Amino acid sequence: MVKIEITGDTPLETLASLTAFGMHCLQDKDVYAAANRILEAEQHETRKAASGLTASPVPAPASASDPTPGPAVTPGPAAPKSGPKDPPTEVPTPPAVSVDDAPAPTVAEVRKRGIEASRKYGKEAIVAILQKFNVSGMSAIEEKDRAAFLAELDKLDAEKAGEANA
């Protein structure tokens, strides 16, 4: 069994993370093809169910001597259009959000980036940044300081890239 956990501080943040994950996955042709097959199978089942409802005979109205009404017949959902056959060549870019409007990075994002940087530059480099925020670990960084912590990691990347080019 494979389990994927998507977390966020708000439902919108969680859905946005899930959408971003899906968009990344669609760039892989194998994943895209598998997703397309699943979508087409679901659409086929929907069409099959819808045609089953409309093809069945409409029950005769209940007679005056029979007080029990017949089963209600409701039209099925409209058959959905078939999905795209080829993966998108360009992933849509989400609308730009100003830094002031952007939600604070999640603890999961901070930990992920911090762990990547720790593997790349060593634990000591990350501990030095954590000390600037007076915390002992990435999970302890306050929400208001998370973006600044990520900026420090970006700064570390830039410094190390500059040293590598020198």
Q: Where are the domains of the chain?
A: 1-91, 107-165
Give percent of the chain with pLDDT exceeding 70. 69
Please tell me the least confidently modeled range out of 28-32, 79-83, 103-107, 153-157.
79-83
34-48 pLDDT, tens digit per residue, is 777 887 788 878 887
Q: For position 55, what pLDDT does the model report?
A: 47
Of the CA atoms within 13 Å of residue 123, those in its CB half-sphere come to 2
Of the CA atoms within 13 Å of residue 106, those in its CB half-sphere come to 14
Q: State the DSSP string of 34-81.
A: HHHHHHHHHHHHHHHHHHHHHHSPPPPPPPTT--SPPPP--PPPPPPP
Amino acid identity, position 117: A
Q: Confirm if 106 and 142 have CB atoms less than 8 A apart.
A: no
Read off the pLDDT of each residue in 109-129 and give the average, rounded to a whole number.
Answer: 92
Please tell me the least confidently modeled range out of 53-67, 80-94, 152-166.
53-67
Q: State pTM to two decimals.
A: 0.40
Q: For position 76, what pLDDT does the model report?
A: 55
pLDDT reading at 94 higher than 90: no
Structure tokens at 22: 């899906």
pLDDT reading at 56 higher than 70: no
Q: For position 71, what pLDDT does the model report?
A: 55
Nearest 5°: CA angle at 156, between 151 and 159? Answer: 125
Read off the pLDDT of each residue in 78-90 and give the average, rounded to a whole number.
Answer: 59
- Dist. CA 133–CA 147, nearest whole Å: 12
pLDDT reading at 58 higher than 70: no
Distances (CA, A) of 91 to 22, 37, 50, 68, 95: 11, 20, 33, 56, 12
**Confidence label for 133 from pLDDT (cuts 50, 70 and 90):** very high
